[in-house]
Structure 1
Amino acid sequence: MTADALDTVAAPPVRKPLGAKGWLIIGICLFGISTGPAAFGLASLGLVINAFQDQFGWSRSEVSGAASLMMLCTALSLPLVGGLVDKFGARRVLIPSVIALGLCLLAIPLVVTKAWQFMAAYVLMGTLAAGANSVPYMRILASWFDRSRGLAIGIAGSGTGLGFAYVPLVGQAAIHQFGWKGCYVALALIMLCVTLPMVLFLLKEKTEGEAPIDSDTPTAEANPAESQGDTLKGAMAKRDFWVLASIFVGLAFVLYGLIPHMVPLLTDRGLTPEAAASMASLFGFATFGGRVLIGFLIDRFDARKIAVIFFGLSALGMGLLAVPLPTWALIVPALLLGGSLGAEVDMLAYLTSRYFGLKAFARIFGVLFSAVMVAMGLGPVAFGGVYDATGSYQVMLAIGAPVCIVAALLMLVLRPYGERKRGAAISIT
C-alpha cells in the first residue's frame, strides 16, 4: 500500500459550518442532558436535605444514600442501556426513560413519607430511567459530528452543568412557594412537558448512509477506521480502556461525591440557605462554561494535555475548600471545581469515540460510564458518612485533591489517540 493511499484513507474530512440542523441537535441534547438523573437527582438533594432532617428526622447519610443507590443502580443498568442504544437506536431508549424519570420525580411528593420510600424512588430512577442519562445523547452526537465532535459533546455535555445551575434556582423558588414538595413537582413538569416533546418530535438520529454534519464528504465512510472501531471485548483487551476507567472513576468519586453536599457544606460555613443555593448555582454555571471551553479546546489540541490542566484545577479547588476561607472567598473553589467538572464525563465520551471508534460506542461508553456511576454512587454516601461521624467534610476534601492529581498524571500514560486512528485505518485497508 502506498503512502498516498494511506493518506487518502486516514485523512479526516473537511470541517464545515454546523448549520441550523447541527445546532438544533446540539441544543436538544444540551437541554436533555440538563434534565437527566445526574442533574435532577443530585442537584435537588442539597435543597431538601435540611427539610427532610426537620420533617422526618432523616440523617444526611440516609438522604445522600438515596443518590448512591440511584448511581449504583444506574451503573448496573448502563451496559444494558448501551447495548439497547446500539441495537435499537437512541430515541427508542430515551423516550420511555424520560417518561419514567418524570413519573419518579412526581411520585416523591405524592407518596414519600419514609426513608425507604425515598430510596425506592431513587432506585427506580437508576433502573427504569437509566436511559435518560447521557449515553443515548452522546451516541447521537458522536455519529452526527466528527471534526467538531469535541465542541458538540462539550456544548451538549455542559447540560449537566446547566442542570446544576438552574435546579437550585428553580428548586429553591418552588420550595419558597410550596415547600420541599414543590421542588420535585417543578422538576417533574420540566421532564414531561419540555424534555419529552423535544426528544419525541425534534431529535433526529443519523442513518447509516448519511455523512457527519460537519463534513463535506458525501458519504458516512469519510473515516472508516472510526466508523467501524472496536467491539466491547476488543476495547477491554487494551490498556487505554483500563487507564480511562481508572482516571474517571477516581474523579467521579470525589467530584460527584461533593455535589449533593455543596449546599449544606456552605451553610455549615455560615452562608444562608439562599446564598448557598446561589453559590451552588454559580458552581453549575461554571460547569456549563467549562464544558463548552473544554469541547472547543479538544478539537484543536491534544485532549490529554487539556485534561491534565483541568484536573489540576479540580485539585486546587478541592484543596482551597479544605482550608478555612472567609465566606466571600468560597466563590474561588466553587468556580474552580465547577469550571473543571466538564473535564470528566464529556472527556470520557470524546476519548472513547477516538480510541475505540463508533461501531460499539454506546456499549463501550456504557460500560465505562457504569464504572464511573459506581464511583458517583459511593462518593455522596462517603461524604455523608464522614460528616455524620466527624461533624465536617474535611477528611473527604483532603482526599479529593490528591485523587485529582493522580488522575492528571494517569492521563500521561494514555498513548496519543491519533496513533490508534492511523493504525486502524491501515488494518482495514
Structure 2
Amino acid sequence: MYKIADTNPSNVPLQRSRQEGLRLGNGDFYGGWKTALASMIGLMLGPSSLLVFCFGTFIIPLEREFNWGIGAISLGGTVLTVMIIINSLMAGYLSDRVGARQLILSSIPLFGLGVMGLSLINSSIWTFYGALAVVSLLGVSLWPVTYNRVTAGWFDRNLGLSMGIVNAGIGLGAALLPVVAGLLTASYGWRTAFLVLGGTSILVTWPVAFWLLKDASAEGTSAHKVAASKVEVSLGQSWSDRQLWLVLLGFFILGAASSGVVVHQVRILMDTGMSMTQAAAMQSVLGIAMIFGRISTGWLLDRVHVSKIMAGMCLAAALALLLLALGAPWGTAPLCAALVGLVIGAEFDVLGYLIPRYFGRLAFGSFYALVYSVFQVAAAFAIGLLGWSRNLQGNYAIGLFIIASMLLVGAQVFFLMGTYRNPPGHQVEPTAAGNTQQ
C-alpha cells in the first residue's frame, strides 16, 4: 500500500480556504485571476492553437507549392501528436521542480521565433517534419499542462472556474486563429502567415505573462496563496491507487471519443447527405459549444461532484455518436456537434480540477502530463479506427458504435471515482503545513 503525505499534523485544525474573490481585503487584485487570464491568452496564442488547430489551414498551400501530396503533409499531424506527448511529459516534470513561470517566459520567445522560422521551409518534406518537431519542442512549456499547473496553485473554492477560464484559451484559439491564418495566407501567402502568427505570439503573450502570470508558491505574502492540500500523493506512490487507474481509463475513452470525431466530423456528416458547406458549419457549432463547455463545466465543478458531471457528459457524447452512426436522423446533426463540443470543452477543466482533489498539488504537473499523454494515445487510436471503419464498410457506423460503447463504460468509470480526498474549502493554511506520513 502506498503512503499518503498528510500535510496537516494531528494537532492542527483544518481551516477554511480563502474566498478567492477578485480583490483582496487591501484592494489588490487577487493574483490567481490575473494568472488565469494570462494563461488563457497564452493558450490562445500557444502551440495548441498555432500548430495543431491551424495545421489544416496550411495543407492546401503547401501541397500547391511543393507537390508533396495531402497524405504526406498530413503525416505532420502525426509528428505533432508524438511531440505533444513528449513535451507534456517533459513540461510536467519540469514544472513540478522548477516552477511554471520561469519555463513559460523562456519558451515564449523561442516558440514564436520557431513559428516564424516555418516560413523558411524548403521543398524537402523531411525538413517540414523536422521543423514541426523542433518548433513544438521550443514551445515545450506552453502546452496546457504548465498553464493549468500555475493557475491551480492559486485556487481551491474557485478551482473549477479558474480551470474553465484557462482552457477557454484553446477554444478561442481554435475558433479565431485558423480564420486569421486563412486570411493571411489568401492575401499575402503562407510564409507571411507564419511570420505574422509567430511574431504576434511573442509580442502579445510575453508581456502578458511577465506582468500578470505568477507562481503562487513564489509569492511572499500568504494572502496571495491558496491553502495547502491535506493529502499529497506522489506519482510514484500512485501506481497502486485505484483512482489513478480510473482517471487514466476515463481519459483514454474521452481521447478516443473527442479527437476521433473532431478529425472525421466533416466527412461523417457528408456521408449523411450534407454538403461540404453544411458539414463545415457544424464545425463552427462544435467550436462554439466547446468554448461554452469550458466555462460552464468549470463553474459546475465548484458546485457538483466531478463524477456526476463526467458520467453525464459521457452519456451525452454516447448519444451523439449513436445518432451519427444512424445517419444523424431527424436533423440532429447540430445537436450531435454541440454535444461533442461540450464534452471536448469539459475534458481539461475536469483534469485540472480532479488532480488537486484526489492527489494534491505538489506533483500536479506529473499527473497532468501522464493523463494528457494517455489521452493523446487514445486520440491517435480513434482517428485510425474511424478511418479503418470508413474504408472497410464505406461508412463510419462500426467505429462510431465502438466508441459510443466505450463512452458508456466511461460513464461508469467516472461514477466510481468516489469522494474527494481534498474537498474544497477544508484545506490547511500554509503556515500550518507539516510533513507527516499516515
* TM > 0.5 fold call: yes
Which residue in the other structure is 2:215 paired with? 205
C-alpha distance 312-126 of structure 1, shift in aligned 2 (>3 A): farther
Alignment of 1:56-71 (within 5 A): 56-58=66-68, 61-71=71-81
- Specify the alignment match of 2:415 in structure 1: 412
Per-residue CA distance 1:174-194 (angstroms, 9 max, x = gap): 233235545544432332221
- Partners in 1 of 2:379 and 2:17 — Cα distance? 37
Distance 1:378 1:322 in 2: 18
Give runs of aligned pairs for residues 250-289 of structure 1, distance below 5 A.
250-262=253-265, 270-272=274-276, 278-289=281-292
> Which residue of 2 is the match for residue 27 of structure 1?
37
Residues 209 and 120 of structure 1: CA distance in aligned 2, closer, same or farther (over 3 Å): closer
Superposed CA deviations along residues 321-347 of structure 1, whole A, max 9, x for unmatched, are 334348975322221111221222221
Q: Distance in 2 between matches of 1:199 and 1:349?
A: 20
Matched, 1:225 2:227: no
Q: Distance in 1 between matches of 2:282 and 2:350?
A: 25
Query: Residue 250 of structure 1 contacts residue 375 of structure 1 at CA under 8 Å; is this kept in 2?
Result: yes
Q: Secondary structure at the residue paired with 2:153?
A: helix
Relative to structure 1, is the Cα distance of residues 156 and 75 closer, same or farther in structure 2, using a 3 angstrom cutoff?
same
Measured after TM superposition, the shift of residue 298 of structure 1 is 0.8
Aligned pairs (5 A) from 1:370-389: 370-380=373-383, 383=386
2:161 matches 1:151:
yes
Q: Is the 2:360–2:422 Cα contact (8 Å) retained in structure 1?
A: no
Over residues 379-401 of structure 1, what are the superposed CA-to-partner deviations in whole Å (9 max), with x where a residue is unaligned?
Answer: 44555566677765554434332
Q: Sort the Cα spacing of 1:184 and 1:388 in 2 relative to 1 into closer, same or farther, 3 A.
A: farther
Q: In structure 1, the residue corresponding to 2:162 is in which secondary structure?
A: helix
| Gaps in structure 2 of 5+ consecutive residues | 1-8, 24-28
Give 1:318 deviation, angstroms.
2.5
Q: How far apart, CA to CA, are the structure 2 residues paired with 1:308 and 1:256? A: 18
SS class of match (2:217): coil
**What are the superposed Cα offsets for residues 274-324 of structure 1, whole Å, 9 maximum, x if unpaired?**
x65554333222111101101101101111101111122222222333343
CA distance in structure 2 between the aligned counterparts of 1:14 and 1:37, rounded to whole angstroms = 34
Structure with more helix by fraction: 1
Which residue pairs with 2:90 in the alignment?
80
Partners of 2:357 and 2:422 within 8 A in 1:
no
Match of 2:19 in 1: 15
Q: Distance in 1 between matches of 2:339 and 2:249?
A: 22
Distance 2:20 2:423 in 1: 25
User: Which secondary structure does the structure 1 equivalent of 2:141 belong to?
Assistant: helix
Q: How far off is 1:57 after superposition?
A: 5.0
CA-CA distance at 1:262 after TM superposition: 4.3
2:398 and 2:361 mapped to 1: Cα distance? Answer: 41
Pairwise CA distance, 1:137: 0.9
1:190 maps to what in 2?
Answer: 200
Secondary structure of 1:416's match? coil
1:327 and 1:176 map into 2 onto residues whose CA distance is: 37
1:215 aligns with none
Moved more, 61-70 or 295-304: 61-70
Q: How far apart in 1 are the matches of 2:57 and 2:268?
A: 12
Closer, same or farther: CA 267–197 of 1 in aligned 2, 3 Å = farther
Cα distance per residue 1:80-118 (max 9 Å; x no partner): 222211221112211333333323333334215343333
Shift of 1:242: 1.4
Shift of 1:418: 4.2
C-alpha distance in 2, partners of 1:209/1:48? 42
1:46 is matched with which residue? 56
> How far apart, CA to CA, are the structure 2 residues paired with 1:153 and 1:319?
30
SS in 2 for 1:9: coil
Specify the alignment match of 2:177 in structure 1: 167
State the match for 2:298 in structure 1: 295
More displaced 10-residue stretch of structure 1: 137-146 or 93-102: 93-102
Match of 1:399 among 399, 402, 409: 402
- Distance in 1 (CA, whole Å) between partners of 2:67 and 2:93 is 41
- Cα pair distance change 1:300/1:221, threshold 3 Å: closer
Deviation at 1:264, TM superposition (A): 5.8
The one of 324, 339, 355 equivalent to 1:352 is 355
Q: Return the letter of the residue paired with 2:92.
A: G
Note if contact 2:259-2:383 (Cα within 8 Å) is conserved in structure 1: yes
Match of 1:357, as an amino acid? Answer: G
**Contact 2:154/2:224 (8 A) holds in 1:** no
- The superposition leaves residues 386-420 of structure 1 with CA deviations (integer Å, 9 ceiling, x where unpaired) of 66777655544343322222211211221211478
Judging changes above 3 Å, is the alpha-carbon distance between structure 1 residues 106 and 211 closer, same or farther for their aligned structure 2 residues? same
State the TM-score, normalizing by the size of structure 1: 0.84
1:105 aligns with 2:115: yes
Is 370-379 or 129-138 further displaced after alignment? Answer: 370-379
1:36 aligns with 2:46: yes
Post-superposition CA distance 1:224-261 (Å, at most 9, x none): 415xx111111233111111011112211331233344
Q: Distance in 2 between matches of 1:402 and 1:80?
A: 33
- Give, as a single letter, the amino acid of the residue that structure 2 aligns with 1:206: A
Q: Are 2:237 and 1:234 aligned?
A: yes
Q: Structure 2: which amino acid aligns with 1:75?
A: I
Q: Which residue matches 1:131?
A: 141
Q: Are 1:294 and 1:343, in contact at CA under 8 Å, matched by a contact in 2?
A: yes
